[in-house]
Amino acid sequence: MREISIPLLFYCVLFGQTDRWTESLNYHAYFSGIHVAEAELKIGEQQIGGKSSVIHILYQAKTISVTDYIFPINDKINIDVDSKTWTPISVKKVVREGKYKHDSFTQFLPEENIFIYKKDTISYAPPVHDPYSLIYLFRKKTLSPGNKFQLNTIDGRKITQLQFDVSSIETIRVPAGEFDALKVTPKRTDGKPFKNAGQLTIWYSTEIDKLPVKISIKLKFGSLNLELANVD
């Protein structure tokens, strides 16, 4: 049984029944079983330049305790997506991971089928989705074991086609409680491995709000798990 309750009314507010809404999903991050960081996915609706409403997504992660001295992480990613198509309008990344630093801004011009990444103008065939808004896009879909979805995803200059397989329903225990959850696993349609040979899995609760209760990345040198701690 689930130990926290998200009322149906909240779901109606979240998915378009009013003109403004917010949600914050807070996660504990574990590396090979050790609690190393806190992460947050925050979402809201806003107006930009008098245009129709857009969805704003904020992802941020920061290491805690001793980990912050050994390998500090302080990432912040802001994404604006179209409220009707859930395709990106802009993506701003500020990534600080150990000695690695990455700052970038991507602007999408879908009416011209181009996006501008740093100083490069790149043509693309819409629709494309960024990895963070995809997490929310699947919450709007009807998910059942056996479902398969193919979507184009963008990261930096690269556009990759992924197939998402909904394979099973599993019982998942996380700090927020116990959930029956749908297991969703993406893979590249070209057969190539993900960066660092990682394997990504997302578990969505079977309840109406489809909370992403756990996100797992298996790597060559360990595993990284984001486990839902609470919902604000």
Rg (CA), the chain: 18
Residues 193 and 169 sit within 8 Å (Cβ to Cβ): no
Mean pLDDT score, 132-161: 90
Cis? peptide before 131, omega within 30° of 0: no
Provide the token pair at 2: 């689930």
Q: Give the CA count within 13 Å in the CB-facing half-sphere of 201.
A: 19
pTM of the model: 0.84
DSSP H helical ranges for 85-216: 131-137
Provide the token pair at 48: 């930009």
The count of other CB atoms within 10 Å of the CB of residue 48 is 12
Mean pLDDT of the chain: 85
Tens-place pLDDT, residues 45-79: 876 666 567 899 999 999 998 999 999 999 999 99
Name residue 177's beta-bridge partners.
174
Of 31-40, 41-50, 88-97, 156-165, the least confident:
41-50
CB under 8 Å to 119, separation ≥6 — which residues? Answer: none
Residue 110 has a pLDDT of 87
Q: Phi then psi for 185, rounded to 5 degrees? A: -125, 120
DSSP H helical ranges for 90-181: 131-137
Whether the per-residue pLDDT at 25 is higher than 70: the answer is: yes
Every domain of the chain and the residues it spans: 8-231
CB under 8 Å to 51, separation ≥6 — which residues? Answer: none
Tens-place pLDDT, residues 183-216: 999 988 888 777 654 688 999 999 988 999 999 9
